[in-house]
Amino acid sequence: MNNSMDRYAVFGNPIAHSKSPILHKAFAEETHQRLVYTSQCVDVSLFIDAANTFFANEGLGLNITVPFKTDAFNFANKLTSRAKRAGAVNTLFLDDNKNIIGDNTDGVGLVNDITENLLWSLKDKDILIVGAGGAVRGILEPFIGQHPKSITLVNRTVKKAVSLSQEFSDIFPIEACSFSGLGNKSFDIIINGTSASLTGDLPPLPSSVIHSDSNCYDMMYSKELTPFLKWAQQNGCKNTSDGLGMLVCQGAESFFIWRKIKPSTTELIKKLRKIL
């Protein structure tokens, strides 16, 4: 197949907001890879048809965004261990035997942004993760791989947090509690894994979770400081970041899976920040 025609795409609904085409165009230019990357709005009932058509027409890889990450999980012929743990797939690719493999790069994207761009260490740290939905599920295994001291999940519905913590109990003892159950404990790293920032809401965290050297990260991103990061700074947190770097780094990991070459992310994060 002509290398100049290597085809990749992102599937979602809606899709107009997706930054993936910008990311992969930049990655391709930086690494001198010749490829075409497009975005496709897929009818919510036609994911399997659209994915089959894409790969049948010599497409090589797909990124998957809302609402199709579970569909992609079920569609893949095989799953990586991190996709199995995440219960969701955001990257599809062909292996050497033309099997369609499902992977999840969200968690490793977050970890890479934190450890490589922000230079925060996760090793031996007490980590608090707010939320117990799909986004949090996707980051737990990569976080555990960084050998933290402890991980605590806090969620409005405690049952959901307990259930999620139990799914990972074979590899790491995750604590689960309610917001009131946090008591006066403070944490080194606090991750907001809820979508509260999208609606301007704030999880009901006690300010005591922040100590003088805490780092706070919101997996959502926006032009202005998110409500969670505003709250963090008001309560003395000096180091904060939103999830724009996570977006770029998960894309870079997908690109690496497809092209076997790792693009840099720092400058692209700065460029994207300017056009938000």
Return d(Cα 110, Cα 34) in angstroms, integer: 27
Is 83 within 8 Å of 103 (Cβ atoms)?
yes
Q: Are strands 126-130 and 91-94 parallel, antiparallel or unpaired?
A: unpaired
Buried b (16+ CB within 10 A) or exposed e, 154-176: bbeebebbbebbeebeeebebeb
Q: What amino acid positions are annotated as catalytic residues?
A: 69
Return d(Cα 84, Cα 111) in angstroms, integer: 18
Contacts of 57 (CB under 8 A, 6+ apart): 7
The residue type of 80 is T
Is 153 within 8 Å of 164 (Cβ atoms)?
yes
Residue 99 sits at φ, ψ, to 5 deg, of: -75, 145
The token pair at 235 is: 């309560």
Is 207 within 8 Å of 216 (Cβ atoms)?
no
The 10 Å Cβ neighbour count of residue 181 is: 13
The token pair at 272 is: 């994207």
The token pair at 95 is: 């292996």
